[in-house]
Chain A
Amino acid sequence: MQEEWGWIIAIYLFLGGLGAGACMVAVFMEFFRKINQCVSSCPVTLVGATLPGPILAIGTLLLIFDLGQGLQKPWLIINLYTHFSSVMTWGTWILTLFIPISMVYGFLEVMDFKSEAWDWLKSRSWIVKMGKFHSFLENFQLKRTKQGIALVSGVLALGVALYTGLLISIVGPAVPFWSTPVIPALPIPILPLLFLTSALSSGLAITVDFVDSVLNHDSHEHMSRLPYYHLAVILVEGLFLGLLLFNANSSGGAAAQSAEAIISGPYSILFWLFVVGLGIIVPAVIHGMQSSRKKRLNDNICLANAVGVLFSSLTMRFVIVAAGIHAIL
């Protein structure tokens, strides 16, 4: 095949996972106040709620650039909503709903985080002039509305993370590597699960690790079990990655060729160095250290680890998309 999905689609899949993961972390922090002791104005929630909208918007723009007609006849994109047997149509709907809803969630989170901003907004003269709207804002239950919207965007974020994997695993016999099942007998594709755990891993990296090291916040003080969750996500991701390659390798044919290209072929350096090294081994060691000792790790190490996790998440998408070899004819 001469014209393939390449870096643009890989970046989109990465951004989709990143945004969805960040949103899921924010919603988790929002609802599990018992675990997250950071009662009011949690900066992790703030970052996790505000980032997904813009991230997914950029990702969607990339998708449109990748379309053959994206710039020539953009009005044809409206047809993407019409054919429900296609996973791409599901994805179009999920993205269309997720981007604005998560942006509203981010806005409400900012307003909740900084109540001065909310008061400032309500005191604007042009809002005061609109009598009914002003009284609506005065009686507006910010926290409760925010939590409702957080729930909706959390569900949609789960949809985004799963759909990015389902999109390429649904092609079935054409690209056998992508549709590798969890267990050979069970026809559930492994890619949606792998992409979900990878999304959570990169979402945790961009929220918890970034906030801790850049904003000098200490999430672990408020949430003692956080390193364990982090470690669990990374280990499950490693398990799925191993299962994917093992099952693909043992099923033979084109799937085995794909697995070989990743393990020992042209993508082996990218895979072992970045995907396994930066994405699984290094964060597993760092979060293992965080969970075993009470002392805080160096901020710069945490930041470097987070950047590494993001990069590995991108590389993993690229390697999987690029290694999708067609069934042998």
Chain B
Amino acid sequence: MASIRRKVYGLGLFILAKFTGGKKELQIMKNLEISRRKFMGLTLAGGGALATTGSSLFNLTPETAKESSSADYAMIIDTTKCVGCGACVTACTMVNDLPENKSYVQRIVKVDEGKTWFLMMSCQHCANPPCATVCPTNATYIRPDGVVMTDRKLCVGCKYCMYACPYEARVYLREEGVADKCWLCMNRVLQGKDPGCVFACLFGARIFGKTDDPEVSKVLASGKAKPLYPEFGTNPAIVTYIIES
């Protein structure tokens, strides 16, 4: 019953997305091999691009993501290597074409017993994202690979997600009138490049890759990298931190 409802619901959103745009998503899904396989049985190649949007929209609800808490990507931020230079903050602004002084990465200065360290905060890509639960228009959703995305074409700018996100990862863009956030630079990742912040980091404090990547899986298996603030109950799936205790 739930799956039927989800499909009917997804179809409605698919039609909505056709009218309202959703180009960013379309471009990405075009590049994804997985979804291409998915729609082969569904429709002809001509309508392929739109069908891929549809199939991705079928997986919009946070409920689907809860079923599979593992994500395809992993980003590990090593705070022991981070010097707080802010290169990732600026790189994010440039790569994502954001207005001045706006960035999806936020630098938080922590002082623990006289020792100062830096916590680079951005979207944690939760498996149970409050922003997606709270979003009234479904502009924020989880992709099947675990990345939490925002469709700027669907966002009405109610700012509810900005209050719901405990990591304060949401950035309100006044010009566009939408609240967006880190999308792991999926445009770059799908071209085989690193996200802007990882590319910009000179100190190797950011490790990014697919979870089955040997370098990434080695760090993950060591168990040093932990999700931030698990008490929020958001179950961060992609971003983990190495923090000296």
Query: A residues engaging B (CB < 8 A)?
Result: 1-5, 66-70, 72-73, 76-77, 79-80, 82-83, 85-89, 92, 168, 170-175, 324, 326-327, 329
Contacts and interface: CB of A to CB of B under 8 A. Distances in A.
A173 B233 CA distance: 8
Given A5-B159, A5-B163, A170 B121 contact: no
Contact of A327 (B139, B160, B166): B166
Given A69-B156, A83-B138, A173 B231 contact: yes
Overall SS of chain A's interface? loop
Given A69-B157, A86-B160, A329-B168, A79 B138 contact: yes
A174 B159 contact: no
Given A3-B174, A171-B163, A86 B233 contact: no
Contacts of A76: 20, 137, 154-156
Given A69-B177, A327-B166, A329-B108, A171 B134 contact: yes
A1 B65 CA distance: 28
Given A80-B136, A92-B136, A327-B166, A171 B130 contact: yes
Nearest to A91: B136
Contact of B172 (A2, A171, A173): A2
Contacts of B159: 3-5, 68
Given A68-B155, A79-B16, A88 B160 contact: yes
B164 interface: yes
B119 A329 contact: yes
Contact of B130 (A4, A68, A88, A174): A174
B76 interface: no
B156 A79 contact: yes
5 contacts: A3-B174, A67-B177, A68-B158, A168-B163, A170-B164
Nearest to A321: B163
Given A69-B157, A69-B177, A172-B164, 13 more contacts: A68-B159, A68-B177, A70-B157, A76-B155, A79-B156, A82-B9, A82-B16, A82-B136, A83-B138, A88-B134, A173-B166, A324-B163, A326-B168
A86 to B, nearest CB: 4
Nearest to B179: A68
B204 interface: no
B145 interface: no
Contacts of B155: 68-69, 76
Given A68-B177, A77-B156, A174 B164 contact: yes
A68 B156 contact: yes
B177 A3 contact: no
B178 interface: yes
B134 A68 contact: no
A3 B161 CA distance: 12
Contacts of B163: 5, 168, 171, 174-175, 324
Most buried by A among B160, B167, B233: B160
B134 A82 contact: no
Max count, chain B CB within 10 A of own CB: residue among A83, A171, A324: A83
Contacts of A68: 155-159, 172, 174, 176-179
B59 interface: no
A73 B233 CA distance: 34
B177 A72 contact: yes
Contacts of B61: 85
Contacts of A69: 155-157, 177-178
A168 B160 CA distance: 9
Interface in B134-158: 134-139, 154-158
Nearest to B60: A83
A173 B156 contact: no
Contacts of A67: 156-158, 177
Nearest to B134: A86
Contacts of A77: 156
B167 A70 contact: no
Contact of A83 (B130, B136, B229): B136
B119 A83 contact: no
A329 B174 contact: no
A85 B156 CA distance: 17
